[in-house]
């Protein structure tokens, strides 16, 4: 790995310090970030990520979302403003459970340069090398703290071909903006998942209300009294919900609904 | 948030979906102003992940998309899917912006 920028043509790159001191930098970044909530689909979010990458002077940007449905099922989604072959290698090597950056994001909320994240295993070092090969010689890891605990996680990775780019003191100037972007991206993705789950399972408002009651620990009798229906009716409705979610019981269905942010 | 009146709309080309026979792997391609957007989704059942992995990205040239396709190990398990992927990509990149 090059330890200098001599391989880059002079005048073709700017330091992070120069980028953040450009007139209107913060305003421009905020305008880009504010596009996320209004994005209608993946393509628009991807477009925002491309623009954000440019605003921060980065060469690559990837946003990773992780959601755990239950003990047996989980999903990873990558929005990639970079060479997507990076993600193919990542998946082929099954680095998900041992990724140093994801592990950092699972335990920390502060954005950080990758140099502050120790690489403890051969797999982690290999993953780091592959990231550098795909444009993240220097990387800024930005967790998106989410209310789902370890069952929902979002991480923004900004990468630069310039060694030490994100080790600059100027990284402090992008910390809040990068975190805002990461959180908006994560919230957008959670909303998408929520809509997909509702549509796929044909969930109604009554279904969601029932799941909330279950999540609150209410008994069948309490729910029946609140809704002025029989306990048999409540049990029957929960059975239908279990079938929709493919869960063994109402508690699991309610937990799944909570994990997806439905309740 | 309403679109601004002078916003140039992306080409309204329907998305093209390619699925493996077992439903484990799918690609969705969509022509965009920037190039061709691709979503790849694969069901995974391994120690590290039991669920699915997906990615969405955009390719500015057909060569980039073909390079991506050539790097995908799934092409050995689903050769017909990747043959169709290349055909669809060639067509989408052949459209005038």
pLDDT tens-digit map of A194-223: 888 888 888 999 999 999 999 999 999 999
Tokens describing residue A197: 């789950």
Tokens of A153: 């996680």
* Burial of A23 per CB tally in 10 Å (0-12, 13-18, 19+): exposed
User: CA of A88: which chain B residue's CA is closest?
Assistant: B72
Question: Is B71 within 8 Å of A85 when comparing Cβ atoms?
Answer: yes
CA angle A29, A30, A36 (to 5 degrees): 100
Q: Please list the alpha-helical segments (H only) found in A56-115.
A: 85-92, 100-107
**Cβ pairs bridging A and B (under 8 Å):** 80
Kind and range of the H or E run holding A61: strand A60-68
Please give the Cα distance from A227 to A205 (Å, whole number). 13
Cβ neighbours of A50 in B, within 8 Å: 34, 58
In the predicted structure, residue A262 carries a pLDDT above the cut 80 = yes
**In this prediction, does ipTM exceed 0.90?**
no
Cβ contacts (< 8 Å) between A98 and chain B: which residues? 48
**pLDDT cut 70: percent of chain A above it:** 92
Chain B residues with CB-CB distance to A95 below 8 A: 48
**What is the rounded CA–CA span in Å between residue B75 and residue B42?**
12
Contact (CB, 8 A) for A160 and A166: yes
User: Which residues make Cβ contacts (< 8 Å) with residue B82, sequence separation at least 6?
Assistant: B69, B72, B74, B75
Q: Can you tell me the distance from the alpha carbon of A22 to that of A1, in angstroms, rounded to the nearest whole number?
A: 29
DSSP A67: E
Residues in B lying within 8 Å of A, measured between beta carbons:
1, 10, 30, 32, 34, 37-40, 42, 44, 46-58, 67-68, 71-73
Residue A58 contacts residue A174 (beta carbons within 8 Å): no
In terms of CA atoms, which chain A residue is nearest residue B72?
Answer: A88
Name the pLDDT band for A1 (thresholds 50, 70, 90): very low
> pTM (2 decimals)?
0.86
Mention every residue, 6+ apart, whose C-beta is less than 8 A from residue B8.
Answer: B33
CB contact under 8 A, B58 and A75: no
pLDDT in the model for residue A245: 83
Q: Do B37 and A43 touch (CB under 8 A)?
A: yes
Q: How far is A29 from chain B (nearest CA, A)?
A: 18
Q: Edge-to-edge, what's the strand order for the sheet holding A152-160? A: A112-113, A138-144, A152-160, A60-68, A74-81, B50-59, B36-45, B25-31, B16-19
Which DSSP state fits A109? -
Query: Using the beta-carbon criterion (under 8 Å), do B51 and A74 form an inter-chain contact?
Result: yes
Return the pLDDT at B11: 52
Query: Which of B39, B48, B51 comes nearest A75 by C-beta?
Result: B51
Closest residue to A80, CB basis, from B47, B52, B56: B56
In degrees and rounded to multiples of 5, residue A109 shows phi and psi of -115, -10
């Amino acid at each position: 790995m090059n330890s200098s920028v001599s391989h880059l043509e002079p005048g073709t790159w700017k330091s992070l310090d120069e980028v953040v001191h450009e007139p209107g930098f913060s305003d421009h970044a905020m305008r880009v970030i504010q596009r996320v909530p209004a994005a209608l689909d993946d393509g628009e979010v991807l477009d925002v990520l491309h623009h954000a990458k440019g605003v921060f002077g980065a060469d690559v940007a990837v946003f990773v979302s992780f959601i755990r449905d239950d003990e047996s099922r989980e999903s990873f989604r990558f929005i990639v403003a970079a060479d997507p072959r990076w993600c193919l290698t990542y998946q082929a090597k099954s680095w998900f459970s041992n990724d140093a950056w994801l592990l950092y994001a699972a335990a920390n909320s502060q954005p950080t340069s990758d140099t502050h994240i120790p690489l403890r295993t051969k797999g982690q070092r290999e993953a780091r090398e592959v990231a550098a090969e795909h444009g993240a010689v220097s990387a800024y890891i930005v967790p998106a703290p989410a209310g789902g605990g370890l069952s929902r996680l979002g991480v923004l990775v900004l990468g630069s071909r310039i060694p030490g780019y994100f080790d600059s003191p100027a990284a402090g100037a992008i910390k809040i903006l990068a975190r805002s972007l990461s959180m908006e991206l994560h919230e957008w993705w959670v909303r998408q998942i929520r809509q997909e789950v509702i549509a796929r399972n044909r969930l109604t408002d009554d279904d969601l209300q029932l799941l909330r009651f279950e999540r609150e620990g209410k008994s069948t009798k309490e729910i029946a009294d609140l809704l002025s229906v029989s306990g048999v009716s409540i049990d029957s409705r929960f059975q239908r919900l279990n079938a929709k979610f493919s869960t063994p019981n109402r508690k699991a269905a309610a937990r799944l609904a909570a994990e997806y942010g439905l309740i | 948030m309403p679109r601004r009146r002078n916003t140039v709309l992306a080409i309204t080309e329907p998305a093209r979906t390619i699925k493996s026979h077992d439903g484990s792997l799918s690609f969705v391609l969509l022509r965009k102003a920037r190039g061709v957007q691709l979503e790849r989704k694969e069901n995974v059942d391994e120690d590290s992940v039991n669920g699915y992995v997906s990615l969405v990205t955009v390719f500015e040239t057909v060569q980039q998309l073909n390079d991506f396709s050539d790097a995908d190990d799934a092409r050995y398990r689903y050769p017909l899917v990747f043959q169709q992927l290349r055909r669809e990509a060639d067509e989408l990149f052949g459209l005038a912006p």
